[in-house]
Structure 1
């Protein structure tokens, strides 16, 4: 794992600060793929622009397909 942030609720600043921490831990991230679900924060222009600025390829689960990230969904369900 490169980076994570914990928050009591999903907010954009949580996700953006996680990205900043990840870039400090791995400054040479060009060409990496970052996978997420289709949450609003991952569709936000600030998030997408940050990935673009670091030459990271954004990957999202298909709508209604929980199998793409079922392991994490199960974890958060507990």
Structure 2
């Protein structure tokens, strides 16, 4: 989520959280957006964001990584807010049977958002 205009810069969905999911999402974001100035990427302390592969990618692209303090959701409030809205307005109102249904619904919602 871009803090300049609150737009969703890039996202990917998967059935499990992996380092490659994060790396692919960062690459997608940088492919789509023209970055002016310093880019700071804020995350929580999940294993994906503490991996050597993530560190190498941020260094390669000149990104300054930033992490929340342990157990403090307020540091990542903008992202947490979006996910809360997505779940409330989109996910919890549906009875989804497949990953593809969830993926399509999320695509529609983010395009609308």
Instruction: Provide TM-score, normalisation by structure 1.
Output: 0.82
Alignment coverage as a number of residue pairs: 78
Deviations 1:3-22, CA, capped at 9 Å, x for gaps: 11111110111111111111
Secondary structure of the structure 2 residue equivalent to 1:16: helix
Give, in angstroms, the shift of residue 30 of structure 1: 5.5
Specify the structure having the higher radius of gyration (Cα). Answer: 2
- Give the whole-Å Cα distance in 1 for the aligned partners of 2:84 and 2:9: 21
**Which runs of 5 or more residues in structure 1 are unaligned?**
none
Equivalent in the alignment of 2:97? none
Aligned pair in 2 of structure 1 residues 61, 68: CA closer, same or farther (>3 Å)? same
Give, in angstroms, the shift of residue 66 of structure 1: 1.4
Structure 1 runs (4+) greater than 6 angstroms displaced:
none
1:71 aligns with 2:81: yes
**Which runs of 5 or more residues in structure 2 are unaligned?**
1-7, 89-113
Structure scoring higher RCO (CA < 8 A, sep ≥ 6) equals 1
Instruction: Provide TM-score, normalisation by structure 2.
Output: 0.59
